[in-house]
Chain A
């Protein structure tokens, strides 16, 4: 079983739509969680950390459900520039050993 699983998509949405991605992780001892964004043929870039209480950054909201071992990302008022692959990342503990999901591709259409 993979450490981190994501729906690969693609999610095709119109501009202005709200879209949500989910991600599940297998290790209940996981300690920290992140969403990264990766544009085509570029490196992943940190979008936001995910805190137990949930956190928001502008149009982006991240939630963590430890009991069910899933993480979510909500994007409101989608922009064309949001088109990218979104990677769910879990850190299982010591020394920053990160596990990445395969990514969810988002296409925002005019």
Chain B
């Protein structure tokens, strides 16, 4: 049973550039959430996708956008990168999208913005 997978594992970008991160959920899961984890902090919720729609969003600017595909995989896009966007980006999947269900995390993509 494949767990949550993410790509790439590491990425280095320059300020002002755009980046796309990818996530495939755990088998049987249809809901994907994205988190940003800065060094020494807990993960911060960015947004959640279910049925190809953004269902919930945290306190992140519009530079952060996403997409979910019919096979439940998801992408996170960040435009106009800032130095402060350097972090570990985590994808988590769950099913069904109701309160109380555990989330399972992928290994993350470590983004460095220079």
Contact = CB atoms under 8 A, between A and B. Distances in A.
B45 A95 contact: no
Contacts of B50: 95
Interface string B84-114: 0000001010100111111111111000000
A43 B48 contact: no
B15 interface: no
B52 to A, nearest CB: 14
Given A31-B100, A46-B104, A96 B33 contact: yes
Interface residues on B, range: 20 to 34
A69 B105 CA distance: 26
A98 interface: yes
Contacts of B31: 95-96
Contacts of A103: 41-42
Interface string A33-66: 0100000001111100100000000000000000
A46 B102 contact: yes
Contacts of B43: 44, 87, 100
Would you call the interface of chain A mostly helix, strand, loop, or mixed?
mixed
Given A91-B99, A94-B99, 17 more contacts: A4-B42, A31-B100, A32-B100, A42-B107, A43-B105, A44-B43, A49-B102, A96-B56, A96-B94, A96-B99, A97-B45, A97-B58, A98-B45, A98-B92, A100-B42, A101-B42, A103-B42
Interface of B: 31, 33, 35, 40-45, 48, 50, 55-56, 58, 90, 92, 94, 97-108
